[in-house]
Amino acid sequence: MDNGACSYRRFLDGDDKGLEEIVRDCKDGLIFFLLGFVGDFSTAEELMQETFFRLITRKPRFQPESGFKTWLYTVARNIALDHLRHQARTAPLSYEDAAADLADVTDLEQSFLKEEQKIAVHRALKTLAPDYRQVLWLLFFEELSPAEAGRVMKKSPRQMKNLVYRAKAALKSELEKEGFEYEDLS
């Protein structure tokens, strides 16, 4: 499975249906991935849109040696980091805006994570450090390999091995606090 590479090639060749397929297949995952960076649902949604806008306007070249999802998430990560650098000089959200965004996140969670077990895992992920949350999201929800996730997060293989180990341990600890019974996180 190419995870969107064929669709992107079709889009570059002039078939807009290719881009529609990529957006349909990747938008929800990108929003949750970006939410881990910015902590605000509406901003994550805007950054997801910016990611696809960049694909449309700049048509960046996809390198086939990394997977398409790896490449797409790297583009999104760079956009999020640019946004965070730019926002470092601005004022934080008001309490009312944050409460409204939290309500939006909860609605999307309920539609995206239908089973109670997935909701418990997602809730536990929110309490983890950003790097832990991102690596677990990329590995288990987006099904990237550790090498692909390492490329997205700009980490060496050794750093990824340590990060994955620590992230799993932290998630296990959080799930145990909630009384969650799990099979195996390894």
CATH number assigned to the domain comprising residue 17: 1.10.1740.10
Q: What is the CATH number for 168?
A: 1.10.10.10
Q: Which of 71, 98, 125 is the last residue of a domain?
A: 98
Whether residue 93 is found in the same domain as residue 152: no
Q: Which of 98, 130, 154 is the last residue of a domain?
A: 98
- pLDDT tens track for 6-27: 777 787 788 788 888 888 888 8
pLDDT > 60? residue 186: no
pLDDT > 80? residue 100: no
Neighbouring residues of 137: CB distance < 8 A, sequence distance ≥ 6: 32, 33, 36, 125
Whether 35 is in a domain gets the answer yes
Structural domains of the chain, count = 2
10 close to 18: Cβ distance less than 8 angstroms: yes
30 close to 76: Cβ distance less than 8 angstroms: yes
Whether residue 94 is found in the same domain as residue 119: no
Question: Model confidence at 108, in pLDDT bands (50, 70, 90)?
Answer: low
Whether residue 82 is found in the same domain as residue 119: no
Question: Model confidence at 163, in pLDDT bands (50, 70, 90)?
Answer: very high
Domain that holds residue 152: 113-178
Single out the residue of 151, 170, 173, 150 nearest to residue 161, CA to CA. 150
Backbone region of residue 155 per phi and psi (left: phi > 0; alpha: psi in -120 to 50; beta: other values) = beta
- pLDDT in the model for residue 89: 65
- pLDDT in the model for residue 93: 57
User: How many Cβ atoms sit within 10 Å of the Cβ of residue 164?
Assistant: 20
Single out the residue of 154, 185, 150 nearest to residue 167, CA to CA. 185
Q: Which of 98, 131, 148 is the last residue of a domain?
A: 98
- pLDDT in the model for residue 103: 61
Question: Model confidence at 96, in pLDDT bands (50, 70, 90)?
Answer: low
Query: Mean per-residue pLDDT for 130-141?
Result: 87
Side-chain half-sphere of 41: how many Cα atoms within 13 Å?
15
pLDDT > 70? residue 49: yes
